[in-house]
Structure formats: C-alpha cells, structure tokens
Amino acid sequence: MTTDETAMPGTGHANEPHGSGITNRLNWLRAGVLGANDGIVSTAGIVVGVAAATVDRGPIFTAGIAGLAAGAVSMALGEYVSVSTQRDTEAALFAKEKRELEEDPEEELAELAGLYEAKGMSAETAERAAEEMTKKDAFAAHAEAELGIDPNDLSNPWQAAFSSAVAFTLGAALPLIAILLPPATWRIPVAVVAVLLALALTGALSAYLGKASPWRPTIRVMIGGGLAMAVTYGIGSLVGTAVG
C-alpha cells in the first residue's frame, strides 16, 4: 500500500463536507453579489428614465420604489422555485438510494468500492474504504460518491429567497438614493457616477470570488449598466418631450 493510497480515503471523505460547505457559502456570496448587481442596474434604469422625463421627485420615488419591490419579490420567488425544485430532485434521489441500500446492501457496497476504485484507489484500498465508510454512514457515503451531493449541506429555499430579496433591495437602494438626494440638475450625473462605481465594485468582487482577473468582468458590468441607463434616459427624454 502506498502513501497516496492511504491518504486518499481519509483525506477525501474527511475534508469533503468541509470543502463543500465552503463552496456552498461562496456560491451564496457570489449569488448575493449578482443579486445586488441586478438591483443596481434595473433600478438605475428605471429612475434615470423617469428623471429624464420629469424633475418632480414624486414620480421618480414612486417608480423607483415600485421597481425595487417588484424586483425583490421576483428574485425571491425565482430563487425559491429554483432551489425547491433542486431539493425535490435531491429528495427523490435520496429516497431511491435509501431503498437500494435496504434491498441490496451487498451490491451497493460493491458499487461504492467500484466508485472509489474509479477515482484512482487500488482495488484493495477501495474495498476497505467502502467497508469503513459504509459502517460509518452508508447513505452519506453513497450520496457523496455516487450522487455528488452532501446530504448535510443542502440549500434552503427560504434562505435562498430571503438572501436574494435582501441583496436585490440593497443594490436597488443605491441608485434610488443617489438620484433623489441631489438637486434636479445634478440628479442624473450623480446617479450615473454612483451606479458605475457600485457596478465596478460588484464586478471586481464577483471576479475575486471566482478567482478571475477583475478587469474584464468589471468593464463588462460597467458597460452593461451604462448602456441600460443610456437607453432608459433616451426613452424617458422622448416620452417626456412627447407628453409635455
């Protein structure tokens, strides 16, 4: 038995739940950054468009709050449905795996050993690892090795919905505040600068979490946000002129 063969079973199974937990938290953080980015861009587009049509704070505030509320609810519902669907699929897979373990444990043991062997263990080490992991927690071992799912690290749909709504709301609040506080002549310039700076921050943070170079993602998200505000500003100016 080599050193690598000895280390592989213990290292993989001892650290996998911890590693998957870190991955899950990073995924949630990345989703939060993207949710905030959506809130910034969508609300900025709304308030800049309305501000181009009127200097009254009332319509700008009303449109901004309506966009914020609608976006937060939409994000929350989308995340809840998505994560709930994922959980339903995982529950069905877990039920199938538990049934197979109850009906034919020997075949499942052989299958687990085969999975470990396919990952690079020797046949002898794979069999021993399968026996040890089966004694410890057969279901968890099969869920991780066969399904690629840690049963102790599943996403919560309510948590996902709440996190998305909060992230979107925080992002949406920035352009709304930035366009309401300054005088009428400075509203749009201040809002545009604030939004672009915020998008630069979210783009850089998203790249950092993904361990990528920050320049391209940051520039992309700033260009996208700038285009969105330019389009809604043009529409607001045309509509304001036509109505006026």
Specify the 3-state DSSP secondary structure of 225: helix
Give how far Cα 31 sits from Cα of 6, 24, 70, 143, 157, Å.
37, 10, 19, 25, 14
CA distance 176 to 149: 41
Burial of 29 (0-12, 13-18, 19+ CB in 10 A): middle
For residue 134, what are its two tokens? 């089966």
| Overall number of domains in the chain | 1
By residue range, what is the domain housing residue 104? 3-243
pLDDT in tens, 38-61: 999 999 999 999 999 999 999 999
Opening angle at CA 182, ends 179 and 187, nearest 5: 45
All residue ranges of the chain with pLDDT < 70 are: 1-28, 241-244
pLDDT in tens, 96-139: 878 878 888 888 788 878 888 788 788 888 788 888 888 887 78
CA distance 226 to 232: 10
Q: Output the pTM of the full model.
A: 0.75
